[in-house]
Amino acid sequence: MLAVSPRRSAAHRGRRGDAPQEGATRTVPMRHLVEKEDPQMTRSRRKFLGTAVATGAGAATLGFPHIARAQQKFNWRMTSAYPKGAPFYMDGPGSATDLARRIEAMSGGRLRITVYGAGELIPALEGFDAVRSGTVEMNHANSYFWTGKTFAAQYFTAVPFGLNFQGMNGWLYDGGGIALWHEVYAPFGMVAFPCGNTGVQMTGWFKKEIKSVEDFKGLKMRIPGLAGKVYASLGVDVKLLPGGEIFPALERGVIDAAEFVGPYQDRRLGLQKAAKYYYTTGWHETATVSELLVSKAAWEKLPKDLQAVVENACAACNVVSEAWCQRTNAEAMEDLIKNQGVIARPLPDDVVKKLRETTGQVLAEAIAKDPVTKKVHESYMAFTAKYRAWAGYSETVYHDKILA
């Protein structure tokens, strides 16, 4: 390692992301200097050697590379698909701002991240392109927003009739899921980590009772993504609306039904005032994962200890965000039922059966078109089969017999 002047480091870094603190001495790996034999570098080396002799600091740097690394500071930017102040995503335990705060605290201030809500720096759903192009180092969202780039991204957020929070964590952390996630994003020059989870969502709000699959015909429903394709196959007129537009559309009858997240978030939008049938346990999003997307070029500039800080802060946010959802949803659901006249029930069994079959058909079409999706699908489904069998002896019995 060599210490170089701020002037040299400004020329070297090329972009703002890894900019050192103003006036600070930045260190860069020796190989970078050796690879770039230019006159400025030679001046820089002479300057370094002079400084080293004068202060002795350079010698310490050479003898103890980890000390020089420990001095290196990074100021990064993180955009989000959700607006500033949005509960769970931008505000509260395990949110984007909490993740940035944890990373700064765990790194002793060496990795500082400025968080921008949707629309502050870039529009809501341009995070993938912003990280890919190096405009920002990180984006906080859900990978299923990027299915237009690579359909396999769907599996790292939620698959209809898929894994719950425990199962998803099992696949991601211990079943090869994160490694596959990195493999899928490698052609785009990015890595990603799970950094939050809503737990199971709700099927959503309907103005009229759903008694059979026939009731889906011509129903106008707000629902994004893969589940929207499944509903569309069953005759639903699928509408894509951002969160803020759901309530007025449902209230005015522009739509007849809508899904958003779960009791706490849905109540905040006021959906209970526009529709009374609240269909429970979301078949479409059984545990929705938040994604921290990171530029691979930026990631590789981080020392190993800061990479570990990011990974561990993400894992912490994954747990605490889901914990927050358990408490807030429990409280909100009780209020919706007791005080706001909401009728909560699961969809009829034959409707669920039809949704399951249709999901299978939609996924089969997707994997037939794309070998990357097929590979991720097979890993996910193999893990799901194992989890289902084990849950039959554990979680399922717990919910039916112990918790009941």
**Residues of this chain that bind Ca ion (CB under 5 A):** 201, 285
Find the shortest distance in angstroms from Cβ 70 to Ca ion.
42
Which residues share a beta bridge with 277?
206, 343
Place of tokens 């039904």: 257
| Nearest approach, Cβ of residue 288 and Ca ion (Å) | 6
Query: Quick one: 285 or 291, whose CB is closer to Ca ion?
Result: 285
For residues 89 and 387, which CB has a smaller minimum distance to Ca ion in the complex? 89
Q: Any alpha helices (H) in 21-126, and if so which ranges?
A: 30-35, 39-55, 57-63, 65-71, 96-106
The residue (of 170 and 228) whose beta carbon lies closer to Ca ion is 228
Closer by beta carbon to Ca ion, 9 or else 272: 272
Half-sphere CA count of 115, side-chain side, radius 13 A: 24
Distance in Å, CB of 340 to Ca ion, minimum: 20
Could you identify the residue written with the tokens 């889906």?
216
Cα 226 to Cα 248: distance, rounded to the nearest angstrom: 24
Three-state DSSP state, 78: strand
Ranges of beta strands (E only) in 98-203 are 111-116, 138-141, 190-197
Cα separation of 47 and 141, whole Å? 45
CB of 198 to Ca ion, least distance (A): 8
Q: Cβ closer to Ca ion: 80 or 201? A: 201
Please state, in angstroms and rounded to a whole number, the distance separating the CA atoms of residues 126 and 80: 9
Q: Which is nearer to Ca ion, 98 or 285 (CB)?
A: 285
- DSSP-derived 3-state class of residue 180: helix
Provide the b/e sequence for 91-104 (b: ≥16 CB within 10 Å): ebbbbbbbbbebbb
Give 126 or 285: the residue with its C-beta nearer to Ca ion: 285
Residue 48 structure tokens = 């370094």
In the complex, least distance from residue 224 CB atom to Ca ion, rounded to whole angstroms: 7
CB of 130 to Ca ion, least distance (A): 23
CB of 136 to Ca ion, least distance (A): 25
Measured from the Cβ of residue 288, the count of other Cβ atoms closer than 10 Å reads 23
**Residue placing its CB nearer to Ca ion in the complex, 197 or 201:** 201
What is the rounded (10 degree) CA torsion for 258, 260, 262, 268?
Answer: -100
Q: Which of 110, 188, 120, 176 is nearest to 148 (CA)?
A: 188
Give 23 or 148: the residue with its C-beta nearer to Ca ion. 148
| Strand-pair partners of 74 | 111
SS3 44: helix
Strand order, beta sheet including 190-197: 111-116, 74-80, 138-141, 289-295, 190-197
* SS3 (DSSP) at 130: helix
Q: How far is the CB of 66 from Ca ion (least distance, A)?
A: 44
Residue 364 DSSP class: H
Nearest partner of 353 among 144, 242, 212, judged by Cα: 212
Residue 28 or 96: the one with the smaller Cβ distance to Ca ion is: 96
Instruction: State the nearest-atom distance from the C-beta of 281 to Ca ion, in Å.
Output: 13
Inter-residue contact 2 to 24 (CB < 8 Å): no
Q: Shortest gap between Cβ of 37 and Ca ion (angstroms)? A: 55
Q: Identify any residues that bridge with 295 across adjacent strands, giving them in sequence order.
A: 190
